[in-house]
A and B are shown apart, each in its own frame.
Chain A
């Protein structure tokens, strides 16, 4: 009974989304104010319906309702509660429902905040969001209904994929999807401006916080996925340039360009049509990521079960939505001109370089990811593209970007005046290089001398970012949240660069075969296998090894790597034993039983790995801080007081 209600709720949501789209777009176009106002009501109704559907599906999972096909495929009577809930997004149908739900949440948030926006503009934004909602719900109902019944009901479920039975994986999709879907808001703001035929002078200021929020969620989502694969998949790898990973990275790169481009548009009314284009592209890449993962077009360890018919539907949807937006762009963007100017060494210039390099990086990743497809289209044998391609080509664009970052944050708007910053910059550069040299030659005995470059660049970014804030604090001047946020985010970037350099250069890794009592040396540490024992979990049987890690004869920690075999799906998942010592991970994973009490193990020493998680965390926190700046709240206060924002030409 309930699942049918859930299905019905989705149908109602579809209708409401359609109404939201219609009233939101047509209302302002024909000047009917009552229609325009109706868009907001549709939002609330749609949210209620979708929340109901999600609630019903969660209930079905929690109560072991195996008469629902999706629950039967992804759950089991022995599955712990946390994973029964997380199973909601464990496979295609449910993850789509999650997408739809998050879209409804963002739309609701925009609807609430839109009291401070001009009514017609807000209605258009909600209208475009309604179009997106409509398409996704239609897709779900037509091809991927999570409420389909299994008749007769299964006696027990097929269990959630063992890989997903992990706290990190439980949280990664919701956070990541929040980011993906959040880019729809920037997209809608851009479409609304294009539908209106003008860009309100405050448009950039309205759009920025939404975009930064989505970007921060994407940052966290990608990092969570990376962290999870590091400790779960067993080989300690955190990034494989897998097509699905790239599908999340490309929107992130473009979204980063977008938040910087928005800064220029807000400050100087420049790059207006470029910003619109970036907003469209960022969300398009989000949508395309959705397509790639579900259509069977690219083979990946991450893909959901492939289905070409679903792929066709999404492709048509993609074509209509993005094609429509880009047509709007071709029609309206030429109207947006600006006569503002800037110097060669101005902040606008550096942000221009930032945007160009980020877009090049994203395009390169896109080319590499689609290369097998492109080769196939032209009848060529499949191309092989992996890390050996992505690493050098990505660095080609990113290293100049990182170097320019340290310089660019000191450039002033419009008039480039870097003379004042020249000396501090050179001094910090010197310190950074010294730090790099000290690390490479002092700590690591001169191995991988090129690491000086990475550590130097990262350190320079951190030091350079601190120059201005420290100076202002010394002079007892205030620091706005926007500046603090920006500083923190850039420092996070520097930290991440240092971490990546360190982890890539100085990881020690070895596969060792040990019998009980034997030990082996890896990266300066001794790993001794004490023994193994069988262990039972709630829905798995495992072998747990006891490994003592010592250095210079003194024991540091005991690790318990496991190999878990899940009863229902008969699949094995490894759980590594990890201990963090001063930012370095001591990592051991259990391999195969070699017989006669001997086991294979993979031991790794991963220096600076903690920084790898800390860097992106700082970036996301910086973003959160920046978007809470008072100038966005000022707009709300003004609007409430009835102060009208000035119309007219750009600055």
Chain B
């Protein structure tokens, strides 16, 4: 066999390797990897869903671990994720702050309250993002997306899609200190 004629087979083998890796990594391939991971979470401050006169923000949460979860009632995948979030809440290892992302749903606020009442509320606190500016500032591309933030305010992990029980264990719990618990709710700032 002349070596020249083996080249196509060699190129093809390399291609198969790339595609196989692609399958194993999918569905993360093509999903944006956030450049913010490992950096300070950009300052955010949003009104609390149940009492919009008060706000909650990254400044008040300094010193605590928290998960920031972007969701919306219009989002089918968030519905899928909901059960996993309730289970995570039962773990009680870290507080989950929900951000209700309004986008173009005019009744999102009331829809969100209804959703939480009907399906259960896995969040320690829920804030609203009405104009979407915070979403862009945090590099949110779609819902649901979640950040794990440490007490120094650094994003240690971002889940660019829905959280599942496996992902919760593998990526979130593994990064928390062994005896972390949910602190009493941080009071909103007026």
B23 and A296 form a contact (CB under 8 A): yes
Question: Which residues of chain B are near A376, meaning CB under 8 Å?
Answer: 21-22, 25, 29
A372 and B29 form a contact (CB under 8 A): yes
A291 and B19 form a contact (CB under 8 A): yes
Question: Which residues of chain A are near B21, meaning CB under 8 Å?
Answer: 373, 376-377
Give the interface segment out of B8-16, B81-89, B105-113, B175-183.
B8-16
Question: Which residues of chain B are near A297, meaning CB under 8 Å?
Answer: 19, 22-23, 26, 29
B12 and A382 form a contact (CB under 8 A): no
Question: Which residues of chain B are near A326, meaning CB under 8 Å?
Answer: 8-9, 12
Residue on B nearest A297 in the bound complex, by CB: B22
Question: Which residues of chain B are near A381, meaning CB under 8 Å?
Answer: 33, 35
CB distance from B89 to the nearest CB of A (A): 29
Bound-state CA distance A318–B26 (Å) is: 18
A330 and B27 form a contact (CB under 8 A): no
Q: Could you say which of B1, B19, B33 has the most chain A C-beta atoms within 10 Å of its C-beta?
A: B19
B9 and A296 form a contact (CB under 8 A): no
Give the interface segment out of A22-30, A306-314, A447-455, A555-563.
A306-314
Given contact pairs A297-B29, A334-B2, A382-B33, A318 touches B16 in the complex (Cβ within 8 A): yes
Question: Which residues of chain B are near A373, meaning CB under 8 Å?
Answer: 18-19, 21-22, 29
**A interface: dominant SS:** helix
Bound-state CA distance A521–B26 (Å) is: 47
Q: Is B167 an interface residue (CB 8 A)?
A: no
Q: Could you say which of B5, B24, B25 has the most chain A C-beta atoms within 10 Å of its C-beta?
A: B5
Q: Is A286 an interface residue (CB 8 A)?
A: no
Per-residue CB contact flags for chain B residues 15-43 toward chain A (1 = under 8 Å, else 0) read 11111111111110111110100000000
We find that the number of chain B residues with CB closer than 8 angstroms to chain A is 27
A273 and B26 form a contact (CB under 8 A): no
We find that the number of chain A residues with CB closer than 8 angstroms to chain B is 35
Bound-state CA distance A330–B4 (Å) is: 8
B18 and A277 form a contact (CB under 8 A): no
Question: Which residues of chain A are near B33, meaning CB under 8 Å?
Answer: 381-382
Q: Is A207 an interface residue (CB 8 A)?
A: no
Q: Is A327 an interface residue (CB 8 A)?
A: yes
Bound-state CA distance A170–B6 (Å) is: 42
Given contact pairs A296-B26, A372-B29, A329 touches B20 in the complex (Cβ within 8 A): no
A330 and B5 form a contact (CB under 8 A): yes
CB distance from B158 to the nearest CB of A (A): 13
Q: Is A299 an interface residue (CB 8 A)?
A: yes
Residue on A nearest B32 in the bound complex, by CB: A382
CB distance from A313 to the nearest CB of B (A): 10
Given contact pairs A297-B29, A318-B16, A330-B1, A277 touches B22 in the complex (Cβ within 8 A): no
Bound-state CA distance A311–B16 (Å) is: 12
Question: Which among A306, A322, A370, A377 is the interface contact of B12 at CB below 8 angstroms?
Answer: A322
B5 and A296 form a contact (CB under 8 A): no
Give residues 322-363 of A contacting B (CB, 8 Å): 322-323, 326-327, 329-331, 333-334
Per-residue CB contact flags for chain B residues 60-85 toward chain A (1 = under 8 Å, else 0) read 00000000000000000000000000
Bound-state CA distance A372–B33 (Å) is: 12
Q: What are 20 inter-chain pairs, A to B, with CB distance below 8 A? A: A280-B8, A281-B8, A284-B12, A296-B26, A297-B22, A297-B23, A298-B29, A306-B27, A329-B8, A329-B9, A330-B1, A330-B8, A330-B9, A370-B15, A372-B29, A373-B22, A374-B18, A376-B22, A377-B17, A382-B33
